[in-house]
Amino acid sequence: MIKKLVQSSVIAFTITPISLIALSITSKSNAQELPPDQVIQSMYAGVANIHGYQAIPKVYRPIPPGFNTSCGPMVKLNAFYCRRDHSIYISIPMVRWAYQYGDAALAYVIGHEYAHAMQNVYKFNSNNGPISELQADCLAGFYMAAVQNLVFDNRDIAEVRSFAYALGDFSNVWTEHHGTPKQRVAAVTFGMRANSPVRCKL
């Protein structure tokens, strides 16, 4: 079951093995989309199930800008994995930005940050700049295709691709460079078509 702990108006939750319920992620209208909390918890539960409930990170949301995390203050438009406390933090503005594209875009964010947690735990590409980021995109795509409790249709895939493109950047000298728009779209699309996370090995 999912446990919710209230801390300074921020909710943290962890998960233990549960019976996964299939939900349909839809993007036909805002009224039909799943609410953010349901998307976050469902994607989180689905990915935890894929990993056999091993090394599960905590997830903190919603985080207001400036909130003091274990890895420093939350930047306004951000979601990140913090190694210091093995936790994922998601800002309120990031959730709102994702929902400009749709609920599937937020599921992609969760998958990407969960991938960083697994990179850290299993020590692969955890300090490799754009390579690490594109691998996390690939794994996010794999997670979205493999989770048993969420169903993504073609519109959802288009949402994810559009959001991945928007998240891309061209700042090769920037330490937080995540890959160009086309690279990010290619990585998450490849992951969606992969039949194993090993296919995301770079």
- Residue 10 pLDDT grade (very low, low, confident, very high; cuts 50, 70, 90): very low
Which of 29-33, 40-44, 155-159 comes out lowest in average pLDDT? 29-33
How many C-beta neighbours within 10 Å does residue 160 have?
31
- Residue 62 pLDDT grade (very low, low, confident, very high; cuts 50, 70, 90): confident
- Residue 21 pLDDT grade (very low, low, confident, very high; cuts 50, 70, 90): very low
Is 7 a residue whose pLDDT tops 50?
A: no
DSSP 19: P
Cis peptide before 73 (omega within 30 of 0): no
Is 183 a residue whose pLDDT tops 80?
A: yes
The span from the CA of 12 to the CA of 22, in Å, is: 23
- Residue 61 pLDDT grade (very low, low, confident, very high; cuts 50, 70, 90): confident
- Residue 18 pLDDT grade (very low, low, confident, very high; cuts 50, 70, 90): very low
- Residue 185 is encoded by which pair of tokens? 């779209």
The span from the CA of 19 to the CA of 22, in Å, is: 10
58 phi, psi to nearest 5 deg: -80, 160
Is 124 a residue whose pLDDT tops 80?
A: yes
Contact (Cβ atoms closer than 8 angstroms) between residue 89 and residue 60:
yes
Is 16 a residue whose pLDDT tops 70?
A: no
At 188 the pLDDT is 97
- Residue 17 pLDDT grade (very low, low, confident, very high; cuts 50, 70, 90): very low
Looking at the structure of the chain, the number of domains it has is: 1
Label residue 84 exposed, middle or buried (CB < 10 Å: 0-12, 13-18, 19+): exposed
The span from the CA of 70 to the CA of 194, in Å, is: 34
At 185 the pLDDT is 97
- Residue 126 pLDDT grade (very low, low, confident, very high; cuts 50, 70, 90): low
Q: Helix, strand or coil for residue 189?
A: helix
Is 63 a residue whose pLDDT tops 70?
A: yes
User: How many residues does this entry show for the chain?
Assistant: 202
Is 118 a residue whose pLDDT tops 90?
A: yes
Stated pTM of the model: 0.84
With the C-alpha atoms ordered 109, 60, 43, 30, is the resulting torsion angle positive or negative?
negative
Domain that holds residue 94: 2-200
